[in-house]
Amino acid sequence: MPPETAQKFEALQAQAQRLMLVFARAGYEPVAPAVIQPAGLFLDVVGESLRARTYVFTDPDGEELCLRPDLTVPTCRLHLARYRDGKVPARYCYSGSAFRYQPAGADKAHPREFRQAGIESFAVADREQDDAAVVATIAEALRDAGLAQVTLRLGDLGLFNALLDALPMPARWRRRLKHQFWRPDAFRAELARLTSKEALTAPALPADLADRLDPTDPGNAVDMVGDYLDQSGIELIGTRSLAEIAERLVAQAADARETPLAAEDAALIESYVAVKGSAKTAARRIEELIGGHKLDLSGGLDAFRRRLELLGQAGIDLDEAEFDAEFGRNLEYYTGFVFELIAPQLGPKSAVAGGGRYDSLLAEVGAPGQVPAVGSCIHTERLLAVLEGGRP
């Protein structure tokens, strides 16, 4: 190993030990999740962006596996191996490597193999208190390592979901908009499509088939679509199953019968995701935005305000904290509060730490129901570079 590489390795090891001591003092149990994970599970829960960047391989027995692209999902699996329903409160900390393909090419700021030191908290009923505790612990770890100046950037997918749930639209439209939230261009294209009667009418869907498809009877739709393909001499080509094709066609047929999303509701959604600025004034701005629409988001806004109050009490500087309604990080398992801590030397494209709430993830990993969960990790190579006075 070249001397420079050895020195960096030793510095990272020493830094990780220091971070882990902070985590342990805060009550987080050190764990070491497995590096090799079942690929199918990861590909189902991490979202489109990270799915394309996960290293997948097949072992000699034919099992599809992957190198972990993050440590949150492996820690969820570890928790469920201990507690089948996941509902026993527990806090874990870890330090280890994660692996992601870098489409723009690997560099020092975004290597293919990188280190994370992080914490995960499961089954704590007081969500806002636990959110604030996680941010405060990560901020304390950064300070203890020597990084005094960071800026908090936060978002709230819970508020976004509450807004969609409060507006009149079919449930499948809400699911699509929530799914596209992490892809701003696709999100806006879908929102525009839902407001257009012409766009809702799928030109590729034969009218005779569309008229016969019943969205309330998906089982019959599979048989109907299969018969239609057979009679038309169309063979199934590609990776989609007959059931998946039928589901998509039923959704298209149902859309064609729907009244388009009201223009004022679409404009409200657009205005909401454009909210950006001081975290201290964000709740008031959102209240003003929805004031004329007779929508009740008081539960989400009360939680937002309480979380900010708890963050302030925990010593987090909120004067420079920024709220961005369109911010959701790049992992699609997040369901609520999300945040990043940004060092001025690196900027927002290379946050030194980040995390958030993911109350649905344990159920997707195997728990029988949803379990409150929140976590965060520090990108230790970025932290070390900042502390050494340079860039990764």
For 166-204, how does the pLDDT look when each residue is reduced to its tens digit (9 = 90+)? 999 999 899 999 999 999 999 999 999 999 988 877 666
Please indicate, yes or no, if residue 184 is contained in any of the structural domains.
Answer: no
Helical (H) or strand (E) element with 300: helix 298-313
Same-domain status, 238 and 118: no
Domain identity same for 39 and 126: yes
Residue 41: its pLDDT value, please?
86
Residue found by looking up tokens 């972990």 in the block: 68
pLDDT of residue 7: 83
Is this model's pTM higher than 0.85 or not? yes
Report if residue 269 sits inside a domain: no
Domain shared by 243 and 282, yes or no:
no
* Inter-axis angle of helices 242-257 and 218-232, nearest 10: 110
DSSP 18-71: HHHHHHHHTTPEE----SEEEHHHHHHHS-HHHHTT--EEE-TTS-EEEE-S-S
List pLDDT tens digits, range 281-326.
999 999 999 988 889 999 999 999 999 999 999 999 999 999 999 9
Query: In this structure, is residue 263 part of a structural domain?
Result: no
pLDDT (0 to 100) of residue 237: 59
Say yes or no: 252 and 281 in one domain: no
> 369 and 280 in one domain?
yes
How far, in Å, CA of 353 to CA of 375, rounded?
11
User: With contact defined as beta carbons under 8 Å apart, do 197 and 260 qualify?
Assistant: yes
Q: Tell me, yes or no, whether 45 lies in a domain.
A: yes
In a domain, residue 338? The reply is: yes
Nearest to 78 by CA among 331, 362, 384, 386: 362
Q: Return the structure tokens found at 91.
A: 């806090």
Does 294 share its domain with 155? yes
Q: Which of 19, 11, 297, 16 is nearest to 139 (CA)?
A: 19
253 vs 292, more confident: 292
Of 231, 257, 283, the one marking the end of a domain is 257
Range of the domain at 21: 3-163+274-387
Provide the CATH number for the domain around residue 79.
Answer: 3.30.930.10
| Together in a domain, 217 and 75 | no
In a domain, 51, yes or no: yes
Burial classification of residue 245, based on how many CB atoms lie within 10 Å of its CB (0-12 exposed, 13-18 middle, 19 or more buried): middle
Domain identity same for 44 and 151: yes
User: From residue 143, how far is each of 15, 315, 341, 383 by CA, in Å?
Assistant: 12, 12, 12, 11
Q: Which residue has the tokens 């914490």?
A: 119
Please tell me the total count of domains within the chain. 2
Do 49 and 97 belong to one domain?
yes
Distance CA 383, CA 352 (A): 6
| Within a domain: 106 | yes
Choose one of 217, 232, 257: the last residue of a domain. Answer: 257
DSSP designation for 139: H
What is the pLDDT, as a whole number, of residue 213? 63
pLDDT in tens, 22-74: 999 999 999 999 999 999 888 888 877 778 889 999 999 999 999 999 999 99
* 383 and 312 within one domain: yes
- Which whole number is the average pLDDT over 255-270? 90
Looking only at the bridges linking them, the beta strands covering 64-67 and 90-99 are unpaired
**Same domain, residue pair 36 and 148:** yes
pLDDT, tens digit, 9 for 90 and up, residues 88-113? 999 999 999 999 998 877 666 678 89
Could you tell me if residue 186 is inside a domain? no
Q: 132 and 104, same structural domain?
A: yes
